Amino acid sequence: MPSALRRGRGKLVQTPLSRESQPRAAKPFLVYVAVSVVVILVLHVNLLLRIHPGMVQLETPTTLENPSEARRVEETKNQAPPSSKPKVLASGREKTTLSVFKDANCKGIAAKQITATSSEAVELLLDYLPKSAQIQGAGLAQVFVGDKYAYVGTVMELEGCVDFYNLFDDVQNDKSKFSVHSSLDSQVVTTARKQVDPALQRQFATVNDLSKPHTRFIFSCESSEYFGYQVYANALGFLKSMQTDASWLRLLTSQAPDDLSERFATFTAPRQLYSGFYHPINKADVIDKWMHSLDAPHPDDTLVVIDPDNWLINDIHKWATRVSAKHAMGQRAYYSQNPMLQELWQEICLNNCQTPTDFAAVPYVIKASDMKEVAPLWRSYSIDIKERFQNNVTFKEKYGPGLGVRWAAEMFGYNAACTHLNIKTTIANDMQIRDVDGGKRKFEFLNGKMPMIHMGRAWFPREKPEIAAPWRHSSSNEPGSIAASGIQVWCKCNQTAPKVLPWPLPDGLDFVSYHTLTLLHDSIEKFGPIPVNETWRKKRTVLYAWSHP
């Protein structure tokens, strides 16, 4: 029979039986036919799979480019099964492969490559620091450097090729370690699971149905003593301002959700490698990771991107309703009258270079569908500007003093990304008032009108020195215009900012000082004392000096 099947290419030819032999041979013949049909089907399916492997999905061994990894997998097959709970195995996108390169821009053949195929991590130890790395898959690679393998950040697929630049030149030992986690390890790969509890989110929302398009207030921060009190006041500002059909969400850059995540609606994403060198890169990075997560907003949502120290006072609805696809809004930036902005754009632009860039600052009001495209470009343009500033003396001398790109690179990065995508930003003058805006801060001019403050300092009236005395700060190093604002009694730059809060307030405060000190005081009254612990809010002599990795 097998030879007949081969000759007939799997076809069974049945010869007629004589009438006399049919009754006697009926049962054996039926068995013969049944077995033959089964054999034919098996061979036919096998032939189809060889010709069209995509027709039937079967689990096949993974081909590994790294021979040593292939040997490790082969050896693993012969090991006894673990006595503990079996690990979860990946079957598709969950598999995560890390490639590290000795050259920048992920050029050439990968020096090393490892793959995580289960819920357990796979580690790669190197006696050198690679120049670039890239991830394929929905997981991530944690990066550790130096003798003690200090954690410095992660690499994820959505970043593309990640250059190490000269970020770790000061590391005493060039050793590095990479811990690769597939998306099945959702405790580490926080973006692989839905994080935001709907019940908690509803506590920070005025919209009835969170699944439908609405206005979302988002801001980026880390877990630290510096940001703790800002989260409190920011949240209370949202609740008190009674926004129209809106929600509020903290976007946290951290290895893991912190203790405040249980009390305030929070999305957590791991740190990008460049973050340790330039923390403001977190803003574009965490938004990009949020946009690609299970907690991503509706494409038609209107996003209002604020800073942690942007505190809401009044409804922003009339501004939010003015944006649409490819048409955003933003506050006028401090560099709006500086012609060097367009010169900078011409130096860094990669697309749409003939279009002048807009000069927007926070709040950025933009459709979520546009932000999904903006965020990765925002990150890459910001890094490009910082790298030019660090390594190009001519660039540094030209744009450093004139535009302030040393600390505001991410602002120019956002403007560049929008222009790159031909997103027009309408500039507003009345979406926020800053602590450094001088005479514009008068209470009678702004009460009931200005939607938010951008806080920094607070002053008591100069005419009441005895009331200000217990909290008075030295103003000897302040610019003249700021020193003339009154008697400074609070500053976010001061080590005492989280815990020494001037109260009660005298009459005659300016708009920013009044709302800054009121929200600081009332947020503690509403949410209770800010938790004190060494894990999430470690004490430092300089308030800006530390954040949880």
Cα(63)–Cα(70) distance, integer angstroms: 8
Query: What does the pLDDT average to over 255-281?
Result: 96
Q: What's the pLDDT score for residue 305?
A: 99
Q: Are 451 and 319 in contact (CB under 8 A)?
A: yes
SS3 110: coil
Cα(147)–Cα(371) distance, integer angstroms: 40
DSSP 4-73: HHHHTTTPPPPPPPPTTTHHHHHHHHHHHHHHHHHHHHHHHHHHHHHH-GGGS----PPP-S-HHHHHHH
Instruction: Name the residue type at position 385.
Output: I
Residue among 283, 118, 241 at smallest CA distance from 189: 118
Domain ranges, ordered by start, for the chain:
2-52, 88-190, 200-428, 434-527
Cα(189)–Cα(210) distance, integer angstroms: 25
pLDDT (tens digit per residue) in 457-510: 999 999 989 999 999 987 545 665 566 689 999 999 988 899 999 999 999 999
Q: Are 421 and 373 in contact (CB under 8 A)?
A: yes
Q: In the predicted model, is pLDDT for residue 46 greater than 80?
A: no
Stretch (H or E) spanning 126: strand 122-126
Dihedral sign, Cα of residue 436, residue 442, residue 446, residue 448: positive
Q: In the predicted model, is pLDDT for residue 208 greater than 70?
A: yes
Cα(63)–Cα(50) distance, integer angstroms: 17
pTM of the model: 0.83
Q: What's the pLDDT score for residue 87?
A: 61
Q: Are 331 and 431 in contact (CB under 8 A)?
A: yes
Q: What's the pLDDT score for residue 29?
A: 46
Cα(236)–Cα(244) distance, integer angstroms: 16
Instruction: Report percent pLDDT > 70 for the chain.
Output: 80
Compare 485 and 46 and report the one with higher pLDDT.
Answer: 485
DSSP 131-178: SEEEEESSSEEEEEETTTTEEEEEEEGGG-SEE-TTTTTT-SS--EEE
Cα(76)–Cα(535) distance, integer angstroms: 38
Q: What's the pLDDT score for residue 199?
A: 98
Stretch (H or E) spanning 412: helix 405-420
Q: Are 535 and 254 in contact (CB under 8 A)?
A: no
Burial class (CB in 10 A: 0-12, 13-18, 19+), 271: buried
Residue among 162, 119, 167, 115 at smallest CA distance from 145: 167
Q: What's the pLDDT score for residue 481?
A: 58
Stretch (H or E) spanning 516: helix 511-527
Q: How far is CA 70 from CA 64, 134, 399, 497, 530, in A?
A: 6, 20, 51, 56, 51
In terms of DSSP bridges, do strands 433-434 and 452-454 run parallel, antiparallel, or are they unpaired? parallel
Q: In the predicted model, is pLDDT for residue 318 greater than 60?
A: yes
Q: What is the CATH number of domain 200-428?
A: 3.90.550
114 φ/ψ angles, rounded to the nearest 5 degrees:
-135, 155
Q: What is the CATH number of domain 88-190?
A: 2.60.20
Q: In the predicted model, is pLDDT for residue 68 greater than 60?
A: no
The residue count of the chain comes to: 549
Tracing tokens 């500039």 back to the chain, one arrives at 427
Cβ within 8 Å of residue 233, ≥6 positions away: 311, 519, 520, 523
Average pLDDT, the chain: 85
Strands (E), 368-440: 424-428, 433-434
Q: Which two tokens stand for residue 88?
A: 């979860």
Cα(425)–Cα(374) distance, integer angstroms: 13
pLDDT (tens digit per residue) in 376-427: 999 999 999 999 999 999 999 999 998 999 999 999 999 999 999 999 999 9
Q: Which of 52-61, 288-297, 530-539 tops mean pLDDT?
A: 288-297
The confidence band for 164, taking pLDDT boundaries of 50, 70 and 90, is very high
Q: What's the pLDDT score for residue 480?
A: 57
